[in-house]
């Protein structure tokens, strides 16, 4: 049978293409959202964040889009490179709170 715990959504892209990773968050009260990248054997690393008063934020090669109406986040990676291969997690938190909650994660494979 399937090992549910080992099944992550997977996105496979060609090097140089753009990648879009989607995430649905759970708490409508969350007002700060973060994307983390986790490479094999390492802890999550911050990529980009966005606050609820914005719907788009751009970084270097990455863009985060926030749709509060449907509680949806996306991470866009431009010109995806082999070094972008990792698991990507969205995370949500509430201002004044003391915990950040992670989503399920998406595994990105970049084919050279």
List of residues contacting another protein (CB under 8 A):
3, 5-8, 31-32, 34, 36, 38, 41-46, 49, 89, 93-105
CB closer to another protein out of 18 and 46: 46
3-state helix, strand, coil in the chain (%, to 5): 5, 50, 45
Q: How far is CA 74 from CA 4, 15, 66, 86, 110, in A?
A: 24, 20, 7, 16, 18
CB closer to another protein out of 20 and 46: 46
Q: Least distance (Å) from another protein to the CB of residue 16? A: 28
């Amino acid at each position: 049978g399937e090992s549910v715990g080992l099944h992550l959504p997977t996105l496979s892209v060609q090097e140089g293409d753009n990648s879009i990773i989607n995430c649905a968050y759970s708490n409508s009260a969350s007002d700060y959202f973060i994307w983390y990248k986790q490479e094999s054997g390492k802890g999550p690393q911050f990529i980009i964040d966005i606050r609820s008063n914005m719907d788009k934020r751009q970084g270097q090669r990455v863009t985060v889009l926030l749709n509060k109406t449907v509680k949806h986040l996306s991470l866009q990676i431009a010109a995806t490179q082999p070094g972008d291969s990792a698991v990507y997690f969205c995370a949500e938190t509430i201002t004044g709170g003391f915990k950040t909650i992670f989503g399920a994660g998406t595994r990105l494979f970049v084919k050279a």
